[in-house]
Amino acid sequence: MPRILVVDDDDGVRTLLEHILSAASHEIDEAASVQASLALLERNYYNLLLSDLMLPDGSGMQIAEEAHRRGTPAIIVTAYPYRFRKADLARFDLLLKPVQPAALLEAVAKALKRVNRA
């Protein structure tokens, strides 16, 4: 069962993402901040990171960079795609809010498939 770290400062969004992903047989850990998510990355192995871009104590890109260093792919979920640098768009997958469940599951399956092929 793939293990996914979901990071979003909005409790409702985190709950929705957790519900959708759990129903698709993914094990979910969640965090609401950069610091909490970095602590979880330090202690656990994840198959995938799914993070909001704008967090109260920094950017989801900070978490994505750390996940990338650990060999964990990242999907950034945001309502602000214009805040991405072109180089980041090439390195990380992007989902726009509001996320449709089918698009979320498709993006997660695609990211996990790429990891399993590597």
pLDDT tens track for 57-103: 999 999 999 999 999 999 999 887 766 666 666 678 889 889 999 99
Instruction: Show Cβ contacts of residue 70 under 8 Å, excluding neighbours closer than 6 positions.
Output: 41
CB atoms within 10 A of CB 62: 16
Tell me the CATH number for domain 3-117: 3.40.50.2300
pLDDT at position 90 is 62
CB atoms within 10 A of CB 104: 19
Distance in angstroms (rounded) separating the CA atoms of residues 19 and 22: 5
Confidence of residue 22 (pLDDT cuts 50, 70, 90): very high
Q: What is the mean pLDDT of the chain?
A: 91
pLDDT over threshold 70, residue 105: yes
